Structure 1
Amino acid sequence: MPRRTITLLSFFVLGIVGLVGAGLWLMADPKTGIGFDPTTSEFLFAPNNPEVVAMGSQVYADNCASCHGDNLQGAANWQTPDENGQLPAPPHDQTGHTWHHSEELLFRITKYGSAAALLSDDPVLSMPAFEGILHDGEILAVLSFIKAQWPKDVQEMHDRMSR
C-alpha cells in the first residue's frame, strides 16, 4: 500500500476515533455533569456531590418512592412473588441487593426495565422502563442518591465491584 494511502487512512481512523470519543463525552448530562466517562468506559454515579444527590432525591420521591418506599425500604415480602407472579419492588438500602449490581447494570435496569436490561422474558421481572420519562442525567442522579444512602463500606464494595 502506498505511503500516502496509509497516511490518509490513519488520519481517517483517528478522525473517527475522535468523533466517537467526543460523542461519548457529550453523553454527560449538561445539568449535572454526570454521565458516561469515555476515558474509563464507566458510568459515573456521584454519591458525594450534594447537588446531584439533591436532584436524585427529588427524582426518587417523584418516580421511585411509590414502589420502593420513601426510605428505600422496598415493598413488604419483596423476595416472594405476588399473586401475579411478579416480585415486589426490592429495597434500595443496604439490606437489598441493589448494591450487588454494577453501575452499568443499575443504569440499564432503570432506563430499559429489568426484563429488557437482563434480556429475559421472565414475568417475575417487573421493573418498568424509565426511558422517555427520565433523561440519563436524572437516572444517574437518582442512582447517585440511592448510593449516597448506603454506608461507606457498602459504597466502597460497590465501587470495587463496578470496576
Structure 2
Amino acid sequence: MSRIQTLTALGAFALIVAGVMLFLNLNEAQAGPQKQPEGSDPASGAVLYAENCASCHGDNLQGEPNWRSQKEDGTLPAPPHDKTGHTWHHGDALLFSYTKLGGQAALEASGVSGFNSGMPGFAEVLNDQEIWDILAYIKSTWPDRMRETQQVRTQGEQMKGGS
C-alpha cells in the first residue's frame, strides 16, 4: 500500500470516528445505553458473535485481510476485533451505536458524506443486551492494558456526552 493510500484510509477513518462521535452526542436516546451494563455475559456474546459477526470479522476476531485498504466499492474490509485492530481504541457508546445502527446510518445521521460504510446495523437482529454481550466477549479477549485503555475512552465519552 502506498503512503498516499494509507493516509487516505486513515483520514477516512478519522472522519468516521468524528461523525460517529457527533452522532452519539445528538442521538443518545435513540442509540441506547452509553456504557457496558453490569451483568453482560461474554459467554453468550461468544455464541452471538459466532452467529452474527464472524462471517465478516473472522472466527478468531482477526478481521478481513488488508482491512485498512478500501475495496473497489469504496468500503473498508471488516477490521479485526482482537488486539491487532483498533476496536479497543473506542469507547462503549461508539462501539454500541455503530453495531446497533450500522456504519452508514450513523455516518449519514451525523452529516458525514462521501464515505461508504459496509457495516450493517443489527437493531432488527439483536436486542441491546445481546449487542452488549457481544462487546463483552470481544473485550474479554484483549490484554488487561487494552481493556484499561478502552475503559478510559468510555469514561471520556461519558464526560463529553453528559451521561
In the alignment, which of 49, 74, 83 is matched to residue 63 of structure 2? 74
The yes-or-no answer on 1:129 pairing with 2:121 is yes
Deviation at 1:134, TM superposition (A): 0.3
In the alignment, which of 116, 129, 140 is matched to residue 105 of structure 2? 116
Q: Secondary structure at the match of 1:43?
A: coil
User: In the alignment, which residue of structure 2 is the partner of 1:91?
Assistant: 80
5 Å-filtered alignment, 1:137-152, equals 137-152=129-144
Gaps of 5+ in 2: 1-28, 156-163
| Structure with greater helix share of residues | 2
1:157 alignment partner AA? T
User: In the alignment, which residue of structure 1 is the partner of 2:145?
Assistant: 153
Instruction: Indicate the structure whose relative CO is greater, using CA pairs within 8 Å and at least 6 residues apart.
Output: 2
User: In the alignment, which residue of structure 1 is the partner of 2:49?
Assistant: 60
CA distance in 2, matches of 1:45, 1:97: 22
CA distance in 1, matches of 2:63, 2:114: 21
1:44 alignment partner AA? Q
Which stretch shifts more, 56-65 or 121-130?
121-130
Gaps of 5+ in 1: 1-23, 25-34, 37-41
Sequence identity (%): 47
